[in-house]
Structure 1
Amino acid sequence: MVPDPDQSIVATRRQRRHSGSRTSRRRTDRRPGFPLTLAALEGLAVAGAQVSVHVADLDRGSTVLTGDDFVTLPVGGLGVIPLLIETAAGFDDGTVDPARLVKRDDLDPVSVSGIWRHLAASELSLTDLAVLAAAQGDAYATNALLEATGIEAITRRMVDLGMRRSALLDRVRDERGPDDAPHVSLGTTREYATLMSDLVGGRAVNPAVSAQVSEWLTIGQDLSLVGAATNLRAFGHDDDAHGLLFLNRTAYDDTGVRAEAGVIAGPRAGLAYALTVCFDDVSPLHRDRAHHAFRTLGTELMENVH
């Protein structure tokens, strides 16, 4: 059952700025529509791409868009989300010290993403690393959190969260050899959209953990896919003047994987979404077609929440 929206992070963040007036104008009698998104995804599928999508209405608790949402696909950096949940749970129950310092030189070198490798600071706390992992999917930060929590604990946590078709398999690597897991993580859009809904609804582990992870994800800086339609500032969009709430995590892979999961909420509705596209990245045009599908979804999400 979906909790009262007035008790969720979605409503709380809007009420902080607008004293509840936005929530009171919500319309719950309008079913969201996504005709352009469906057309874009069908075009990708006809061209040979694997596509999976799931969008859920936060107020109704109903699915409003679905397509192969049960299929497990590579989702790259989306595995950061359950990693952040396990990290926040460790902070909350005292099994992980948020002030513990991690030395970058103690980690295996990795250069695929992130800012820490460019910083002069060679030691950061686990709290700071959680911020970097959430905001940028920083490779060093992600691997440090994975070492602090342990992949077995994350696996158990994902099962507890109902993510039986998803898994975080390995740390971030520059190259994957024959003895390494073929992907960082696998997942279904149904499970990741549900996870995002549970986070903003306070149901992921407990309200405190849900709130912490949601706050981390609201500072995500990648607005190049679904987030492009929001026209928010990439480096500061956690208090939008129009009452728009947006939190997300994106995933890129040089093998042709694009994935994103998030929540977008406005005065009309709140929606949790996940989209994964696996395609042949043989040219910039192929990549643009895949990215276009994400941007189209973002446009139609915006049309439905505002």
Structure 2
Amino acid sequence: MSVSTAEPSRDTASLRGTRRSGRRLPRRAAASRRSFAATMAALDAAATAGAQVSVHVTDLDRGTTVVTGDAHLTLPVAGIGVVPLLIDVAAQVDAGTLDPFELIERTRVAPVTVGGLWHRLAAPALPVCDLAVLAAAAGDAAAANALLARVGVEAVRARIEQVGLERTALMDGFRDRRGPDHAPHVAVATAEELAALFGDLVNSRVVSPAVSAQVAEWLSLNHDLALTAAATGLDPFAHDDDRHGLLFLNKTGRSDGVRAEAGVIAGPRAGVSYAMIVCFDDLSIAHRLRAHDAFRVFGLDLMEYVY
């Protein structure tokens, strides 16, 4: 895997409001925290075992690449495909063409139980705004499918093109079983584009500041902190950790043989947008844990960079 790295910025100006403190690490302490060598070793081990791996990290203050490896590869990203859907929902709400309180019946789409909560709730219908929260926070397949049925896959694809994503595609909704007549994946993307997208969200450059803020707010509720985000120490059900000056939002994607995560993490020393994708032969729990370990090592390297 081709890899390049860069040092973190020593100039970390305030990022997106009051989340970043003015504290700086001493130069000697900072010097020991510039390497993503552990991440690259973990990814090399996964690749040696037959996985396809891709990673990209961008420094938000400087706009420079911190580390990248095969970030141009278009790979399946499963539930991260919800992000462009949420962008289109937020954009339509902001434009007044979609009522956030419009009720959508669960029976509007085929039953799906691969993830989420709505299929276990008694409520037969929920408003658009609540479905967006479920899709972002709980990876709710039924909620995402209902939103996709309401706005239309062509509208989401047009939105993807509008925001400048060239190698990202939402191909299909979620399914309990994916047959030969279905698209092979929910979504595909590159690590480079996903990292750029999340950076643009927190910098208010996706469609409009209002749309960016709404999508970032939904994504900040994500409960899945088991991969890269495990290193943050955040409560999965309450991320708002102002006490430690950490800004964090993410979206994960999980399916058979696919683990992916993209997000933003900003601490007192630096802020980054990141994405990592690992596609592997899901032959045993050992194969799966090897992929998960790579994400957790990556999370530790990210935390060392921003702190």
Tell me, yes or no, whether TM beats 0.5. Answer: yes
* Deviation string, structure 1 residues 126-182 (Cα, Å, up to 9, x no partner): 000000001011011100111121111111111122211110000101111211101
Identity of matched residues, % = 57
In the other structure, the counterpart of 2:191 is 189
Q: Secondary structure at the match of 1:60?
A: coil
* Among candidates 12, 32, 53, match of residue 17 of structure 2: 12
Post-superposition shift, 1:24?
6.6
Q: Secondary structure at the match of 1:262?
A: strand
In the other structure, the counterpart of 1:90 is 92
Question: What is the TM-score of this pair, normalised by structure 2?
Answer: 0.91
In the other structure, the counterpart of 1:222 is 224
Give matches, 1:138-177, under 5 Å: 138-177=140-179
Alignment partners' CA distance in 2, 1:107 and 1:51: 34
Q: Secondary structure at the match of 2:243?
A: coil
Structure 2 gaps, min length 5: 1-11
* Deviation string, structure 1 residues 84-106 (Cα, Å, up to 9, x no partner): 11110011001111010011122
Structure 1 gaps, min length 5: 16-21
Query: What one-letter code is carried by the residue in structure 1 that aligns with 2:50?
Result: G
**Number of aligned positions between the proteins:** 293
In the other structure, the counterpart of 1:210 is 212
CA RMSD of aligned residues (A): 1.8
In the other structure, the counterpart of 1:298 is 299
* Deviation string, structure 1 residues 46-68 (Cα, Å, up to 9, x no partner): 11100000000000000111011
Give matches, 1:1-306, under 5 Å: 6=14, 10-14=15-19, 22-23=21-22, 25=24, 32-254=34-256, 256-306=257-307
Alignment partners' CA distance in 1, 2:152 and 2:22: 40
Q: Secondary structure at the match of 2:199?
A: helix
Alignment partners' CA distance in 2, 1:295 and 1:304: 14
Asked whether the equivalents of residues 108 and 146 of structure 2 are also in contact (C-alpha less than 8 Å), the reply is: no
Seen in structure 2, the aligned counterparts of structure 1 residues 5 and 201 have a Cα distance that, compared at 3 Å, is farther
* Deviation string, structure 1 residues 242-300 (Cα, Å, up to 9, x no partner): 0111100011102x000000000000000100000000111111111100000001001
Alignment partners' CA distance in 2, 1:180 and 1:280: 21
Alignment partners' CA distance in 1, 2:297 and 2:25: 23
Alignment partners' CA distance in 2, 1:195 and 1:27: 32
Which is worse superposed, 213-222 or 28-37? 28-37
Seen in structure 2, the aligned counterparts of structure 1 residues 283 and 100 have a Cα distance that, compared at 3 Å, is same
Alignment partners' CA distance in 2, 1:71 and 1:221: 27
Asked whether the equivalents of residues 77 and 189 of structure 2 are also in contact (C-alpha less than 8 Å), the reply is: yes
Alignment partners' CA distance in 2, 1:90 and 1:160: 13
Post-superposition shift, 1:11?
2.8
Post-superposition shift, 1:32?
4.0
Query: What one-letter code is carried by the residue in structure 1 that aligns with 2:17?
Result: T
Seen in structure 2, the aligned counterparts of structure 1 residues 244 and 45 have a Cα distance that, compared at 3 Å, is same
Runs in 1 of length 4+ with deviation above 2 angstroms? 23-33
Alignment partners' CA distance in 2, 1:13 and 1:192: 25
Alignment partners' CA distance in 2, 1:66 and 1:279: 19
